[in-house]
């Protein structure tokens, strides 16, 4: 093996000896002693593991089997790439360990070119990107998505022996975001799970995030100008329910979203639902609040999926409807027990599916002289309740299906509000979407599934 391999072997021997010698002198007499012992063992163990991994990586890059896979990978690419010879690539490992690998660089030009536009297919086959191994990139993405800021993430990663700067963390996370966008464009994002014979609920909603939108010119200090604008990231959730109508524990929900348009969100949702083969589900419920952008697109989505009409139900969130009833009561100055009795009566009618009686009662209460808001609220119940049958709550309960969109509202809070929504934080659009999507998969309990897809790069994604 080469000099780099010998260097790592020598360092590993030194660490092993240090572990052995230090372990013989350990004497635990207090909590402080235990803490120090834990920290020392963790640091030395981490460094030794990284050194051994470095040895494995060097051996792998010299193996005939991996070189054969590299040639096959290059041939399978949709474009032609040419070898530019061996280049040095440094890979950073935990414990301040770095290993220099000798790998072949490929470029579309015969005579070489910019390394940013070329490929290191052997590193791609090993899941190495941006000088980091798959596990380190996974830890970086999780820290960036789950903690309150990049600074907090850098601090926590340092405690795990991963020394990086905030800019390096942003770069790695942005790279994963770019890969997610390419996978979305290619329609290769998938979620595992069996929906055959199950009751499936699909819900969607929007949140709030403040973006940095560029303006012309620069400030007096020479910085780029930007306008802080509130924008709406949109999420969807797909989950199964058990016999009691609660979210099933044996089917991890699918949560994803976009900073793009409503049509982009529904295109992404359509891809996931096709991947899950939603036509095999026993029943499908689409439930959301009264947002027009949602219900305008649901019928087209159902048609694109080829779902049978008798399997599908559309439902307005029950508590959203109750909120409108409350506004109607307040607009007519109903107070105290009179207001409570009126709302309780309408609630029971909605619960039993008597939407016609509710509409008649609203008309009677509002009278013939109605304000603009009162007309809007009345039309809300006529359109959703009578015309489009989106308030048949008794039918949903008969099939043990939820009558509210609490699942997506909880997802918006956990995924968006607790990380990217702030008056004092301004995001670039692509960075906000990256954090939202990674966080959504983690909160859904599908983190490993996501990171596996973003690590095992296909030839289509490579270019």
Distance CA(251)–CA(274), nearest Å, equals: 17
pLDDT tens sequence across 387-421: 999 999 999 999 999 999 999 999 999 999 999 99
- DSSP assigned state of 420: T
Neighbour tally for 391: CB within 10 Å: 25
The span from the CA of 460 to the CA of 316, in Å, is 41
The residue to which tokens 């405690």 are assigned: 159
Evaluate whether 285 touches 316 at the Cβ level (below 8 Å).
Answer: no
Write down the residue that tokens 């490579």 correspond to. Answer: 462
List, in sequence order, every residue forming a beta bridge with 129; answer none if it has no partner.
132
User: Mean pLDDT per segment of 10 residues, for the chain of length 463 residues?
Assistant: 88 90 85 90 91 94 92 88 90 92 88 68 90 92 93 93 92 90 85 91 94 80 82 95 90 94 94 92 93 94 93 94 92 89 93 92 90 92 92 91 94 94 88 94 92 79 66
Mean pLDDT of the chain: 90
Tell me what pLDDT residue 347 has.
Answer: 92
pLDDT in tens, 302-342: 999 999 989 999 999 999 999 999 999 999 888 899 999 99
Beta bridge partners of 91: 99
User: What span, in angstroms and rounded, lies between the C-alpha atoms of 463 and 459?
Assistant: 7
Residue 82 near residue 88 (C-beta atoms within 8 A) = no
| CB within 8 Å of 118: residues ≥ 6 apart | 81, 84, 105, 106, 107, 108
Confidence at residue 22, expressed as pLDDT on a 0 to 100 scale: 82
- pTM for the structure as a whole: 0.89
Question: Helix, strand, or coil here: 427?
Answer: strand
Per-domain boundaries in the chain: 1-127, 129-191, 199-449
Mark 206-226 as b/e (b = at least 16 C-beta within 10 Å). Answer: bbebbbbeeeeeeeeeeeeee
Q: Is 156 helix (H, G, I), strand (E, B) or coil?
A: helix
């Amino acid at each position: 093996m080469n000099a780099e391999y010998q260097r790592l072997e020598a360092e590993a021997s030194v660490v092993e000896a240090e572990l052995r010698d230090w372990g013989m002198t350990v004497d635990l007499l207090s909590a402080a002693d235990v803490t120090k012992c834990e920290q020392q063992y963790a640091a030395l163990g981490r460094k030794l593991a990284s050194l051994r991994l470095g040895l494995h990586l060097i051996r792998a890059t010299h193996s005939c089997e991996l070189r054969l896979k590299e040639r096959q990978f290059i041939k399978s690419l949709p474009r032609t790439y040419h070898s530019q010879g061996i280049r040095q690539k440094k890979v950073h490992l935990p414990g301040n360990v770095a290993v220099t690998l000798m790998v072949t660089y490929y470029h579309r030009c015969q005579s070489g070119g910019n390394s940013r536009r070329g490929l290191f297919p052997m590193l791609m086959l090993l899941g190495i990107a941006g000088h980091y191994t798959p596990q380190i990139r996974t830890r970086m993405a999780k820290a960036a998505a789950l903690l309150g800021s990049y600074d907090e993430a850098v601090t926590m990663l340092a405690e795990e022996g991963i020394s990086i700067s905030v800019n390096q963390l942003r770069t790695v996370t942005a790279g994963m975001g770019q890969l997610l966008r390419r996978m979305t464009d290619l329609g290769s994002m998938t979620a595992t799970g069996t929906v055959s014979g199950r009751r499936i609920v699909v819900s969607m909603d929007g949140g709030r995030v403040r973006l940095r939108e560029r303006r012309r010119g620069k400030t007096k200090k020479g910085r780029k100008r930007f306008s802080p604008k509130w924008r709406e990231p949109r999420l969807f959730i797909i989950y199964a329910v058990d016999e009691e109508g609660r979210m099933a524990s044996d089917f991890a929900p699918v949560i994803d979203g976009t900073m793009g348009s409503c049509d982009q969100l529904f295109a992404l949702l359509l891809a996931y639902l096709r991947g899950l083969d939603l036509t095999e589900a026993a029943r499908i419920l689409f439930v959301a609040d009264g947002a027009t952008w949602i219900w305008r697109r649901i019928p087209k989505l159902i048609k694109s999926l080829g779902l049978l009409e008798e399997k599908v139900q559309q439902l307005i969130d029950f508590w959203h409807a109750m909120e409108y009833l409350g506004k109607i009561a307040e607009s007519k100055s109903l107070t105290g027990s009179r207001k409570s009795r009126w709302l309780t009566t309408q609630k029971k009618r909605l619960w039993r599916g008597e939407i016609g009686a509710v509409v008649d009662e609203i008309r009677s209460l509002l009278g013939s002289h109605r304000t603009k808001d009162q007309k809007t609220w009345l039309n809300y119940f006529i359109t959703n309740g009578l015309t489009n049958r989106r308030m048949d709550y008794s039918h949903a309960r008969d099939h043990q299906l939820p009558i509210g969109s609490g699942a997506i509202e909880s997802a918006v809070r956990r995924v968006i509000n607790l990380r990217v929504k702030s008056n004092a934080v301004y995001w670039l659009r692509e960075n906000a979407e990256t954090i939202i999507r990674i966080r959504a998969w983690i909160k859904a309990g599908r983190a490993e599934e996501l990171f596996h897809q973003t690590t095992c790069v296909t030839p289509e994604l490579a270019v």
